[in-house]
Structure 1
Amino acid sequence: MKFLLLVYVFLIGKSHGYVRLTNLKCDIFDRSFVEFPECRLKVLGRGVIGANIHFKFLKLPINRMVIRFNAYRKLSGYHPFLFNVSKDLCHALKYPNRLDVLYYFYNAFSPYSNLNHTCPYNNDVYIRKCILNDRMFSKVPLPKGTYMLTVEMDDGIKNWVSTVSVYFDIDVD
C-alpha cells in the first residue's frame, strides 16, 4: 500500500512538460552608464540551462532606476502579450506589492542574484545560474509557445540605457 501511495505521489508531482531558456541578448544604448561583461546562457546539466548576467554600472551610486517589462509571444514574429509595465525599481524594492508583476519576477530570480537591498547601489549586480522551471509559471498559466521577455533600464533621467531580452519556450501540460 505504501508503495502504491509513493508511486501515485511521484506521478502526480511529476511535470509532463518543460520550460527552457533558448536565448539571451543584452543591448547597450549608453556605454557611459552600464556594461555587460557577461551575458550568456550556460548548460548546467542535462536539459538544464542557466542564465548568467553581470551588470557593471559605471555611474555610481544608483539612486533611481526605472525599468520596463514587456512580454511578447511568437506567432508570426513576436507580438505584445499579457503586460507592458514600467516601474521605479528603487521604490518597488522598498515597498513590495504582492499584486504587482515586478514582485513575482523579483521573487523568481532573487535566489540567483545579489540584488537584495534597496537603493542606493554602489556595486555590480550579478545574476548567476538562473534557471526556469514550471513552478515559476504556476500562478500565471501561459499557453504553450515561444516567448520573449524584455527588461529595459532607464537611468532615472528619461534616458534608456540598456535592454536585456530573454527568450524561452514553454511546453507545460
Structure 2
Amino acid sequence: MRVHYIVWMIHSLFEFTNIKCNSIDKKFFDFDYCHIKAVNRTFKYMSVRAALHEVPIREVLADLQILRRFKGYIPITMNVTLDVCKYMNKKKSRNPMVNFFDRVLKNYSNAYHKCPYDHDVWVEKLPTQFVNTQLSDVLPLPSGDYAFYSTWIVNGMTRGTLWVYGTLS
C-alpha cells in the first residue's frame, strides 16, 4: 500500500494600510513626516521622522501592543513596556514581540543604538516585503487586519503615539 502526502505551503502577504503619528507635546518633538508610500502595485514602504527639540534623551519607555480587528481592534498580545535605553545596552529580550520589532527596525532606523539620543529619529523606507518575511518567520499570525500601537514615554511623560495598521492575507 502506498501513501501519498500532499504538502501545501502557506504563504502570507502583509500590506501596510494606514499610519497615524501623534505628537502630544509638540514643544518636545514633532513628526516631520509620517507616511506610507506605494511605489508601484507590489512595492510599498513606511517612513517616519520625529524631530526632537529637547536633546539629549536618556530615558525612553515604549508601550507596545499588537491588536487584531474583529468588531473593533482587540489586543492579541500583552501590552509590553520596554525600557528602550536598557534594552539598547544589552539588545536581548525573551519577549518574541520585542525581538520581532528589533529585527524589523534595526536595518531601517537610526535609533538602533545606546542612549542618549541627541538627534532626530527616523524609520526610513521600511518595505512591506521585509515586514512580511519577519511576520511569517517570527510571529505566524492568521489572516486578518492588524494594528501595532505604541506609546512613547520620555522623561516620565507621555510624548507621542505611533499606530501602524496592516492586513495579512
TM-score by length of 1: 0.85
Structure 2: give runs of 5+ residues left out of the alignment.
1-7
**2:122 is equivalent to residue 126 of structure 1:** yes
Deviation at 1:151, TM superposition (A): 1.2
Question: Which position in structure 2 is the counterpart of 1:61?
Answer: 56
Distance 1:25 1:94 in 2: 29
From 78, 88, 92, the equivalent of 1:97 is: 92
Aligned structure 1 segments of 4 or more residues deviating by more than 6 angstroms:
none
Question: Which position in structure 1 is the counterpart of 2:4?
Answer: none
Deviation at 1:49, TM superposition (A): 1.2
From 112, 119, 125, the equivalent of 1:116 is: 112
Distance 2:160 2:17 in 1: 20
Question: Which position in structure 2 is the counterpart of 1:5?
Answer: none
Question: Which position in structure 1 is the counterpart of 2:165?
Answer: 167
Deviation at 1:139, TM superposition (A): 1.9
Structure 1: give runs of 5+ residues left out of the alignment.
1-11
Deviation at 1:131, TM superposition (A): 1.6
Q: Number of aligned pairs?
A: 158
RMSD between superposed Cα atoms in Å: 1.7
**2:71 is equivalent to residue 76 of structure 1:** yes
TM-score by length of 2: 0.87
From 48, 68, 72, the equivalent of 2:43 is: 48
Distance 2:71 2:166 in 1: 16
